[in-house]
Chains A and B, each alone.
Chain A
Amino acid sequence: DSGVTQTPKHLITATGQRVTLRCSPRSGDLSVYWYQQSLDQGLQFLIQYYNGEERAKGNILERFSAQQFPDLHSELNLSSLELGDSALYFCASSSGGVNTGELFFGEGSRLTVL
Protein backbone atom coordinates (compact mmCIF):
# COMPACT_ATOMS: atom_id res chain seq x y z
CA ASP A 1 0.00 0.00 0.00
CA SER A 2 1.57 3.25 -1.19
CA GLY A 3 -0.58 5.49 0.99
CA VAL A 4 -1.99 7.28 -2.07
CA THR A 5 -5.75 6.96 -2.45
CA GLN A 6 -7.61 7.47 -5.69
CA THR A 7 -11.35 7.51 -6.23
CA PRO A 8 -13.27 6.26 -8.05
CA LYS A 9 -11.48 3.08 -9.09
CA HIS A 10 -13.72 2.65 -12.11
CA LEU A 11 -15.90 5.10 -13.97
CA ILE A 12 -18.02 4.65 -17.08
CA THR A 13 -19.51 7.66 -18.79
CA ALA A 14 -20.64 8.94 -22.17
CA THR A 15 -19.00 11.23 -24.69
CA GLY A 16 -19.48 14.91 -23.96
CA GLN A 17 -19.76 14.38 -20.22
CA ARG A 18 -17.56 15.71 -17.43
CA VAL A 19 -15.96 13.71 -14.63
CA THR A 20 -13.82 14.45 -11.60
CA LEU A 21 -11.11 12.16 -10.33
CA ARG A 22 -9.87 12.55 -6.80
CA CYS A 23 -6.50 11.86 -5.22
CA SER A 24 -5.35 11.94 -1.61
CA PRO A 25 -1.56 11.95 -1.37
CA ARG A 26 0.55 10.10 1.14
CA SER A 27 0.54 11.72 4.55
CA GLY A 28 3.09 14.52 4.58
CA ASP A 29 3.62 14.64 0.82
CA LEU A 30 3.22 18.08 -0.72
CA SER A 31 3.44 17.19 -4.41
CA VAL A 32 0.77 15.52 -6.48
CA TYR A 33 1.32 14.33 -10.05
CA TRP A 34 -1.28 13.21 -12.55
CA TYR A 35 -0.51 10.71 -15.31
CA GLN A 36 -2.58 9.18 -18.08
CA GLN A 37 -2.00 5.62 -19.25
CA SER A 38 -3.82 4.62 -22.42
CA LEU A 39 -4.17 0.97 -23.41
CA ASP A 40 -0.78 -0.74 -23.69
CA GLN A 41 1.03 2.58 -23.47
CA GLY A 42 3.46 4.09 -21.04
CA LEU A 43 2.40 6.81 -18.71
CA GLN A 44 1.98 10.35 -20.01
CA PHE A 45 2.67 13.14 -17.54
CA LEU A 46 -0.22 15.58 -17.29
CA ILE A 47 0.42 18.02 -14.47
CA GLN A 48 2.04 18.49 -11.07
CA TYR A 49 0.96 20.52 -8.07
CA TYR A 50 3.15 21.40 -5.13
CA ASN A 51 1.59 22.73 -1.94
CA GLY A 52 -1.42 24.08 -3.81
CA GLU A 53 0.44 25.67 -6.71
CA GLU A 54 0.89 24.36 -10.22
CA ARG A 55 4.57 23.33 -10.54
CA ALA A 56 4.90 21.59 -13.90
CA LYS A 57 2.73 20.93 -16.90
CA GLY A 58 2.98 18.12 -19.41
CA ASN A 59 0.70 16.99 -22.21
CA ILE A 60 -2.52 18.06 -20.60
CA LEU A 61 -5.41 18.93 -22.90
CA GLU A 62 -7.27 22.21 -22.50
CA ARG A 63 -10.41 20.17 -21.73
CA PHE A 64 -8.64 18.87 -18.63
CA SER A 65 -7.90 20.85 -15.51
CA ALA A 66 -6.64 20.09 -12.04
CA GLN A 67 -6.25 21.71 -8.68
CA GLN A 68 -4.78 20.97 -5.29
CA PHE A 69 -6.72 22.00 -2.22
CA PRO A 70 -5.44 23.32 1.15
CA ASP A 71 -5.70 19.83 2.64
CA LEU A 72 -3.39 18.74 -0.23
CA HIS A 73 -5.84 16.44 -1.94
CA SER A 74 -6.11 16.97 -5.67
CA GLU A 75 -8.81 16.69 -8.30
CA LEU A 76 -8.47 16.15 -12.02
CA ASN A 77 -11.42 17.41 -14.03
CA LEU A 78 -12.02 15.98 -17.48
CA SER A 79 -14.69 17.67 -19.60
CA SER A 80 -16.25 17.26 -23.05
CA LEU A 81 -15.08 13.68 -22.90
CA GLU A 82 -14.13 11.85 -26.07
CA LEU A 83 -13.68 8.14 -26.74
CA GLY A 84 -9.92 8.64 -26.80
CA ASP A 85 -9.95 9.84 -23.20
CA SER A 86 -10.61 6.28 -22.05
CA ALA A 87 -7.55 5.42 -20.00
CA LEU A 88 -6.14 4.69 -16.60
CA TYR A 89 -5.44 7.90 -14.71
CA PHE A 90 -2.78 7.71 -12.03
CA CYS A 91 -2.04 10.05 -9.22
CA ALA A 92 1.35 9.99 -7.55
CA SER A 93 2.79 11.93 -4.65
CA SER A 94 6.17 12.89 -3.32
CA SER A 95 7.41 14.91 -0.40
CA GLY A 96 9.32 17.61 -2.28
CA GLY A 97 8.63 19.85 -5.20
CA VAL A 98 11.34 18.39 -7.39
CA ASN A 99 10.71 14.98 -8.87
CA THR A 100 13.62 12.67 -8.08
CA GLY A 101 11.69 9.66 -9.29
CA GLU A 102 10.68 8.45 -5.87
CA LEU A 103 7.00 8.77 -6.54
CA PHE A 104 4.31 6.88 -4.69
CA PHE A 105 1.52 5.90 -7.03
CA GLY A 106 -2.11 5.22 -6.36
CA GLU A 107 -3.92 2.28 -7.96
CA GLY A 108 -5.40 4.47 -10.65
CA SER A 109 -8.87 5.40 -11.82
CA ARG A 110 -10.00 3.56 -14.91
CA LEU A 111 -12.16 5.79 -17.08
CA THR A 112 -14.24 4.32 -19.88
CA VAL A 113 -15.95 6.71 -22.27
CA LEU A 114 -18.70 5.12 -24.37
Chain B
Amino acid sequence: AQTVTQSQPEMSVQEAETVTLSCTYDTSENNYYLFWYKQPPSRQMILVIRQEAYKQQNATENRFSVNFQKAAKSFSLKISDSQLGDTAMYFCAFMKLYNNDMRFGAGTRLTVKP
Protein backbone atom coordinates (compact mmCIF):
# COMPACT_ATOMS: atom_id res chain seq x y z
CA ALA B 1 0.00 0.00 0.00
CA GLN B 2 1.13 3.51 -0.73
CA THR B 3 1.46 5.90 2.20
CA VAL B 4 2.21 9.60 2.24
CA THR B 5 3.75 11.26 5.28
CA GLN B 6 3.89 14.95 6.03
CA SER B 7 5.89 15.35 9.20
CA GLN B 8 5.18 19.04 9.77
CA PRO B 9 1.64 19.61 11.06
CA GLU B 10 2.14 23.37 11.17
CA MET B 11 4.60 25.89 9.81
CA SER B 12 4.85 29.65 9.61
CA VAL B 13 6.87 32.02 7.47
CA GLN B 14 7.27 35.75 7.17
CA GLU B 15 5.88 37.43 4.10
CA ALA B 16 8.42 37.54 1.24
CA GLU B 17 10.51 34.75 2.81
CA THR B 18 10.98 31.21 1.52
CA VAL B 19 9.55 28.10 3.14
CA THR B 20 9.90 24.40 2.40
CA LEU B 21 7.25 21.82 3.20
CA SER B 22 8.32 18.19 3.52
CA CYS B 23 6.70 15.06 2.17
CA THR B 24 7.86 11.47 2.03
CA TYR B 25 6.07 8.52 0.53
CA ASP B 26 6.37 4.79 0.44
CA THR B 27 5.82 2.75 -2.70
CA SER B 28 7.25 -0.14 -4.65
CA GLU B 29 6.07 1.38 -7.92
CA ASN B 30 8.46 2.91 -10.43
CA ASN B 31 6.00 5.07 -12.33
CA TYR B 32 3.68 7.40 -10.49
CA TYR B 33 2.57 10.97 -9.99
CA LEU B 34 3.17 13.25 -7.04
CA PHE B 35 1.17 16.36 -6.28
CA TRP B 36 0.89 19.28 -3.94
CA TYR B 37 -2.58 20.61 -3.32
CA LYS B 38 -3.50 23.77 -1.45
CA GLN B 39 -6.64 24.11 0.67
CA PRO B 40 -7.25 27.73 1.71
CA PRO B 41 -9.90 28.69 4.28
CA SER B 42 -12.48 28.55 1.49
CA ARG B 43 -11.95 24.74 1.74
CA GLN B 44 -11.57 24.30 -2.00
CA MET B 45 -8.70 22.03 -3.03
CA ILE B 46 -6.43 23.60 -5.63
CA LEU B 47 -3.66 21.82 -7.52
CA VAL B 48 -0.39 23.65 -6.95
CA ILE B 49 2.11 21.49 -8.77
CA ARG B 50 2.51 18.02 -10.27
CA GLN B 51 5.54 15.81 -10.81
CA GLU B 52 5.78 12.69 -12.95
CA ALA B 53 8.19 10.20 -11.40
CA TYR B 54 9.84 9.37 -14.72
CA LYS B 55 10.90 12.99 -15.16
CA GLN B 56 14.18 13.83 -13.47
CA GLN B 57 13.68 17.56 -13.78
CA ASN B 58 11.96 19.14 -10.81
CA ALA B 59 8.62 20.77 -11.58
CA THR B 60 8.24 24.53 -11.19
CA GLU B 61 5.18 26.76 -11.24
CA ASN B 62 6.02 30.42 -10.71
CA ARG B 63 6.93 30.80 -7.02
CA PHE B 64 6.36 27.10 -6.32
CA SER B 65 8.98 24.45 -6.98
CA VAL B 66 9.62 20.93 -5.81
CA ASN B 67 12.67 18.95 -4.83
CA PHE B 68 11.95 15.42 -6.01
CA GLN B 69 14.35 12.80 -4.70
CA LYS B 70 13.12 9.51 -6.14
CA ALA B 71 15.62 7.25 -4.43
CA ALA B 72 14.89 8.83 -1.08
CA LYS B 73 11.13 8.91 -1.82
CA SER B 74 11.02 12.55 -0.89
CA PHE B 75 8.97 15.32 -2.48
CA SER B 76 9.28 18.71 -0.82
CA LEU B 77 7.57 21.93 -1.86
CA LYS B 78 9.40 25.23 -1.81
CA ILE B 79 7.42 28.45 -1.79
CA SER B 80 9.48 31.52 -2.63
CA ASP B 81 8.52 35.12 -1.90
CA SER B 82 5.68 33.94 0.35
CA GLN B 83 2.47 35.94 0.14
CA LEU B 84 -0.38 36.28 2.61
CA GLY B 85 -2.60 34.45 0.16
CA ASP B 86 -0.39 31.39 0.49
CA THR B 87 -1.83 30.80 3.97
CA ALA B 88 -3.55 27.42 3.68
CA MET B 89 -3.35 23.71 4.35
CA TYR B 90 -0.98 22.01 1.94
CA PHE B 91 -1.46 18.37 1.06
CA CYS B 92 1.05 16.10 -0.60
CA ALA B 93 -0.50 13.34 -2.70
CA PHE B 94 0.63 10.21 -4.52
CA MET B 95 -0.97 8.30 -7.35
CA LYS B 96 0.14 5.26 -9.30
CA LEU B 97 0.16 5.71 -13.05
CA TYR B 98 -3.23 4.95 -14.63
CA ASN B 99 -4.75 4.35 -11.20
CA ASN B 100 -7.34 6.85 -10.12
CA ASP B 101 -6.89 6.34 -6.37
CA MET B 102 -4.97 9.40 -5.20
CA ARG B 103 -3.50 9.05 -1.68
CA PHE B 104 -3.11 12.16 0.44
CA GLY B 105 -0.93 13.01 3.40
CA ALA B 106 -2.41 14.51 6.55
CA GLY B 107 -1.43 18.03 5.54
CA THR B 108 0.72 20.92 6.73
CA ARG B 109 -0.94 24.10 7.91
CA LEU B 110 1.08 27.04 6.62
CA THR B 111 0.63 30.53 7.98
CA VAL B 112 2.25 33.48 6.24
CA LYS B 113 2.78 36.35 8.66
CA PRO B 114 2.87 40.01 7.61
Contact = CB atoms under 8 A, between A and B. Distances in A.
Chain A interface, >50% SS class? loop
Contact of A105 (B46, B101, B104, B105): B46
Interface string B80-114: 00000000000101010011111111110000000
Which range holds the interface residue count of chain A?
20 to 34
A102 B104 contact: no
Contacts of A64: none
Interface in A10-52: 33, 40-45, 48
A48 to B, nearest CB: 5
A92 B45 contact: yes
A42 B4 contact: yes
A42 B33 contact: no
A8 interface: no
Contacts of A108: 43-44
A59 B33 CA distance: 20
Interface string A95-108: 00011111101111
Contacts of B33: 100-101
A101 B46 contact: no
Nearest to B35: A101
